[in-house]
Structure 1
Amino acid sequence: MAGEPQGDCLFCKVVAGAIPATIVRETETTVAFRDINPQAPTHVLVIPKAHYADAAALAAGAPELAADVLRETQVIADEEKLESYRIVFNTGSGAGQTVFHAHAHVLGGRGLQWPPG
């Protein structure tokens, strides 16, 4: 069921504290932690604590939670002193999503070209 923790989900395990992560911020509804394979000097993931497979499912099932995730990306950017940054939601394996728990990548700290690749 959407929103319920999934036993085989890596990010649900991070939320539960079963898998360690370098958490930089936590709210009632979100967790933000450093990416283990950073693609920029600052690369933080912001996830909802509730499980939704991807950004589309999150937006459809819990728009207020999607707003919380997006709001937290700005807080992270401010805390990391990023003047410019990119927010990326990969949706589906063809777009590079490897963990099927909605998450936003906050990337910054270097020039970010467009298109990204």
Structure 2
Amino acid sequence: MAACVFCLIVAGHAPADVVREWGDVIAIRPLNPVTPGHVLVIPHTHVPDVGQDPGVSGRTMACAAELAAILPAANVITSKGTAATQTVAHLHLHIVPRTAGDALPLPWTPQQHTAG
């Protein structure tokens, strides 16, 4: 089994552009941000997704809320499972700053769906 990339980052064994650190949570810039200022908020504890450990999930959300509070508009998003677009099986929250007219569609917006 391959090592978890987020576990490697929080352990200091993989590079990351760190935005902020708390004792048990880290915020980093993703490799491919979808808007300027996009960050990932990741707990140090390996939890596969938001449904596995409510305490870790709540703490991670509290840290994400601190970062989102300074933004005029943002999406705070997490996914649970591959069908919900989760690509790394380690809890992480995306803070995506938004501006009027940025045209960034979310997975559930109508322009993302094609007639089948």
TM-score range, shorter chain: 0.7 to 0.9
d(CA) in 1 for partners of 2:98, 2:29: 14
Report if aligned partners of 2:27, 2:40 keep a CA contact under 8 Å in 1.
yes
Q: How does 1:1-117 map to 2 (within 5 A)?
A: 8-59=3-54, 63=55, 65-78=56-69, 81-111=70-100, 115-116=108-109, 117=112
d(CA) in 2 for partners of 1:58, 1:19: 25
Alpha carbons of structure 1 residues 52 and 90: separation in structure 2 relative to 1, 3 Å: same
Give the structure, 1 or 2, with the largest relative contact order (CA under 8 Å, sep 6 or more). Answer: 1
Residue identity matched to 1:25 = R
Pairs aligned (count) = 106
- Following TM superposition, the consecutive aligned residue runs of length 4 or more in structure 1 with deviations greater than 6 angstroms are none
Query: Aligned-residue CA RMSD in angstroms?
Result: 2.0
Residue identity matched to 1:94 = A
Report if aligned partners of 1:89, 1:105 keep a CA contact under 8 Å in 2.
yes
Report if aligned partners of 1:85, 1:108 keep a CA contact under 8 Å in 2.
yes
Give me the TM-score of the superposition, normalised by structure 1: 0.80
In the alignment, structure 2 segments of 5+ residues that lack a partner are none
Alpha carbons of structure 1 residues 29 and 7: separation in structure 2 relative to 1, 3 Å: farther
User: 3-state SS of the aligned residue for 2:16?
Assistant: coil
Report if aligned partners of 1:55, 1:91 keep a CA contact under 8 Å in 2.
yes
Give me the TM-score of the superposition, normalised by structure 2: 0.81
Report if aligned partners of 1:42, 1:109 keep a CA contact under 8 Å in 2.
no
